Structure 1
Amino acid sequence: MRRTALGLGLAALTMAASAAPLDTYRDRYRVLVLSAPDAADAQLTDQRAALGPVREGIAERDLVVLEAVGSGAEARTLRAALGLPDDSFRAVLVGKDGGAKLTAAAPIPPQRLFSTVDAMPMRRAEMRGRP
C-alpha cells in the first residue's frame, strides 16, 4: 500500500482478490472510495481537485482515499465489495465500522464529506478526546 507524502492518504490498492479489500482499514480509518471507468473520467478529476486543498481536514478525520479506476483486478474487487458499477463514477464514504455512510454518483464536496464524518458518533468522541 502506498500513500502520498503530503498526507492525503491516496492509496494504490494492492491486495489479493480473496481478501476483503477494506478489512485493512476497519476500526482504524474511514475510507473514501473513488470508482471510475478510467483515469481520464471528468468526475474523478473533479473529486481529486476538490480534495487536494483539504488534505489537513482529511488527515484530521482519519480518512484514507482509495481509487478503483479501470478494469484491473484490484479495482474490480473493490467495486464488487461495495456493489459499485464499473462504467460510471461513484464516491463512497465508508466508516471505521466498515459500513457505507454516503454514496454519490457525483463528486462529494469536501464540506459535505466533512460534515457527514463529523456527525458520526465515533468522530464526535474523537473530537472530544483530541486537543
Structure 2
Amino acid sequence: MIGMAAAGLAASLAAAVGLGGPAQAAGDPLSAYRWKSRLLVISAPTADGNVEAQRRAVAAAREGMAERDLAVVEALGATPEAVALRRRLGLPGDGFRAVLVGKDGEPKITAPSPISTKTLFSTIDAMPMRRDEMRGR
C-alpha cells in the first residue's frame, strides 16, 4: 500500500480504519495497526494547506516510509471515523494536527503543523523497536 499515491494511500487507510470491523470490537480505531505499522495521523476539519503540505512530504518520502513501516491515516471532517481517531488521540476537531503513532499504538509526536520527514524518520530511527529492526536487516 505504501507504493500508492499519497491521496490514494490515505483514502485506503482511512477506509480500513473504519469502525465496522475488528477495530470496533476492540474499541480502538488504531488497534488493527498495533505491532504492524507506525502511523502518521493527519487530522483537520478540512483538507487545508497544512494537510496538503503533509501529503506532499509523505508522497516525496515513500521509500523511507515503507522502510520504517510508516503508513498514513487521515481524520478529516466530522465523519464517525475521523471523530473516533481524534477522540482516541485526544485531538481537537477545529484545527490541524499531525501525530506520529508508534507500533505500540501510542502517540510519539503531536504537532500543530506538518511534521517534516526528517523529524519523523529521526524520531522513528531512535525508537528501540526500530533499532532492533535495523539490526535484523
TM over 0.5: yes
Report 1:93-112 matches (<5 A): 93-112=100-119
Q: Give the counterpart of 2:90 among 83, 91, 110.
A: 83
Q: Describe the SS at the equivalent of 2:66.
A: helix
Q: In the alignment, what sits opposite 2:125?
A: 118
Alignment pair present for 1:36 and 2:38 = no
Identical residues among aligned pairs (%): 54
Structure 1 residues 78 and 5 mapped into 2: Cα distance closer, same or farther (>3 Å)? same
Gaps of at least 5 residues in structure 2 are: none
- TM-score, normalised to structure 2, is 0.86
- TM-score, normalised to structure 1, is 0.90
Amino acid at match of 2:14: A
How many residues are treated as equivalent by the alignment? Answer: 127
- Which protein is richer in strand relative to its size? 1
Structure 1, residues 14-64: CA drift from partner, whole Å, max 9, x if none? 42274310000001110110001112x110011101111110100100011
Q: Give the counterpart of 2:68 among 61, 68, 82.
A: 61
Q: In the alignment, what sits opposite 2:32?
A: 24
Indicate the RMSD between aligned Cα atoms, in angstroms.
1.7
Q: Describe the SS at the equivalent of 1:28.
A: coil
**Once superposed, which parts of structure 1, at least 4 consecutive aligned residues long, lie more than 4 Å away?**
none
Q: Give the counterpart of 2:81 among 74, 90, 101.
A: 74
Gaps of at least 5 residues in structure 1 are: none
CA–CA separation in structure 2 for the residues paired with 1:7 and 1:56: 12
- Which protein is richer in helix relative to its size? 2
- Is 2:5–2:59's contact at 8 Å kept on the other side of the alignment? no
CA–CA separation in structure 2 for the residues paired with 1:33 and 1:111: 16
- Is 2:45–2:76's contact at 8 Å kept on the other side of the alignment? yes
Structure 1, residues 85-128: CA drift from partner, whole Å, max 9, x if none? 00100000110111111110000010010000000000000001
CA–CA separation in structure 2 for the residues paired with 1:5 and 1:112: 21
